[in-house]
Structure 1
Amino acid sequence: MTIMTEFMLMGFPGDWIIQKLHAALFFLIYLAALMENLLIVILTSIDQQLQAPMYFFLKNLSLIDICYISVTVPKSIMDSLTNSHSISFLGCASQFFLLFFFAGAEYALLIVMSYDRYAAICHPLHYENIMSRDTCLHMVTASWLIGCVYGSIHVAGTFSVNFCGSNVVYQFFCDVPSLLTLACSEEHILEYVFIIASCCFTFLCFILMFVSYVHIFSTVLRISSANGRVKTFYTCMPHLTVVTLFLFSGIITYLVNNFKSSSSLKMLVSVFYTVLPPTLNPLIYSLRNKDIHMALGKVLAGKISRIFP
């Protein structure tokens, strides 16, 4: 048994040039994710037309995504630029906790957003009463708290074990499979119990989300107007796409990390889970959203009028 004081995040393999290309690519992705999500937060905060519950949830989703991608990417960029891959035991535990914190909060918020779509489409006459301001605030607060509990459980389960031998983590951040490979034999049962319980809870929430969308689509099919059916259907597509991206990337990452595969492949797949959702979510929600387009147009028009009065 070895008392670990730090871990070595080996990151992506390659020579000096490859490391700098990796840092440049991650920096551009990180900058794009920050700009996209900050734009969503600003527009949904200042525009009076974007004060509906859906946009309140979207603003919180963007805040979570900013925090989520900031947990892993900046550290990875600095490691590639400085060629210093060490991370303290406390730093690794903190990164681990924050990653699960924001992942759990995002999943909980996506469930809340599916309920919002269910209330808006299946109970439009009672929507304002169902999704009142206080209710929305309580739901968002609950999402953040669930993320905090989720992160606390996993960090307690993983870092309660003793680590044996090497401190090398073949990943660009501290994740469960890589850390458990360093644990002493038969000491990671507690974390596996938490993983199984988390999977069961996630699957149960997915079933609830699936049932809500069954009701949504059955309601959409009963709309007499074809134009109305298409318009209502498209209000659900961004959320469905984001949920699919988030769950699919997480499942693929888990499967690859728990089966025999190269460390490079594991790291590449981990990018899909940690980097892609925060980068693509704002684009998915804004590409076909006319309200966001109009709000952005008003902001740009105001800036142009100040520059060229």
Structure 2
Amino acid sequence: MSNSSSISHFLLLALANTRQLQLLHFCLLLGISLAALLGNGLIISAIACGHHLHTPMFFFLLNLALSDLGSICTTVPKAMHNSFWDTRNISYTGCAAQLFFFLFFITAEFYLLTVMCYDRYVSICKPLHYETLLGSRTCAHMAAAAWASAFLNALMLMANTFSLPLCHGNALGQFFCELPQILKLSCSHSKLRPSSISSPSLDLALSVLYSVVPPALNPLIYSLRNQELKAAVRTLKRILFVSLLESLGFHIYSD
């Protein structure tokens, strides 16, 4: 039996037992993370550079893209490192930090989606009052409230979780430091779902669905299907391409 004071590291779930499957998981995670970085990076750059996109809807989309980037950068790099180097270790401090930042970004995403729903509601149901209800200052306050609330929520959950005595070893049944898996190691017997429907494979599938897939798909669902944003992304890519050519010594002339 051990407690939290004697635990220096945790053991994360090994995604595969053979070297070939470990490298396959590494490549899959790399592809998903690159897709998320590219999609959300394009959205952030296009909205930041396109002055005609400085509206409440695109302002909240930019914040959503930031939360997606933070979320996937918190969990996937460590999982890729473990798969590539065939290890399972994560330090006690690293686990606490990973739990905090994951809770912070995932909670911020929930709050931002709620704010975006309100934005669409006002746009559709109260179009004449849209500018009054959702001015630039109001949008900034709403976004700040979402991030601040997420920070406080993550801080309290992380502090409460790691204040519990841990009596059931240090092996986590997940590929990142997930809150329910840490609670399973505690001396208390609290449960987030009934044990009858909980299984390692189900836990892993659900964790991938809510932690890895959304950051990669959200750019397609919420942003890149928007015609204005697609046009801004095309313009941004054209500017970057021309800048690259000019940096290589080519001169582009236009009428």
- TM-score above 0.5, yes or no: yes
Q: CA deviation at 1:260?
A: 4.5
Correspondence list, 1:34-183, <5 A: 34-183=37-186
- Structure 2 residue matching 1:87: 3-state secondary structure: strand
State the partner residue of 1:229.
Answer: none
Once the two structures are superposed, residues 33-83 of structure 1 have per-residue CA deviations (whole angstroms, 9 ceiling, x without a partner) of 001001000000111221111000000100010001111000000011111
Q: Which moved more, 1:74-83 or 1:294-303?
A: 294-303
Distance 1:301 1:34 in 2: 19
Correspondence list, 1:1-309, <5 A: 1-2=1-2, 3-186=6-189, 188=190, 258-303=195-240, 307=245, 308-309=252-253
Distance 1:129 1:85 in 2: 53
1:58 maps to a residue whose letter is L
| Aligned residue pairs, count | 243
Partners of 1:163 and 1:184 within 8 A in 2: yes
Distance 1:259 1:42 in 2: 46
1:52 maps to a residue whose letter is T
Partners of 1:12 and 1:267 within 8 A in 2: no
TM-score (norm 2): 0.89
Q: Going by fraction, where is helix more abundant, 1 or 2? A: 1
Distance 1:184 1:159 in 2: 12
Q: Which segments of 5 or more consecutive residues in structure 2 lack a partner in the other structure?
A: 246-251
Q: 1:73 to 1:304 in 2, by over 3 A?
A: closer
Q: CA deviation at 1:300?
A: 3.4
Q: CA deviation at 1:261?
A: 4.6
Partners of 1:26 and 1:73 within 8 A in 2: yes
Distance 2:154 2:44 in 1: 24
Distance 2:225 2:36 in 1: 18
Q: CA deviation at 1:288?
A: 2.9
Structure number with greater CO (CA < 8 Å, separation at least 6) is 2
- Structure 1 residue matching 2:217: 3-state secondary structure: helix
Distance 1:64 1:272 in 2: 16
Q: Which segments of 5 or more consecutive residues in structure 1 lack a partner in the other structure?
A: 196-253
Distance 1:305 1:153 in 2: 48
Q: CA deviation at 1:304?
A: 5.2
- Structure 2 residue matching 1:7: 3-state secondary structure: strand
Distance 2:108 2:36 in 1: 18
Q: 1:37 to 1:303 in 2, by over 3 A?
A: closer
- Structure 1 residue matching 2:29: 3-state secondary structure: helix
Partners of 1:30 and 1:69 within 8 A in 2: yes
Identity of aligned residues (%): 41
Q: CA deviation at 1:153?
A: 2.0
Q: 1:163 to 1:303 in 2, by over 3 A?
A: closer
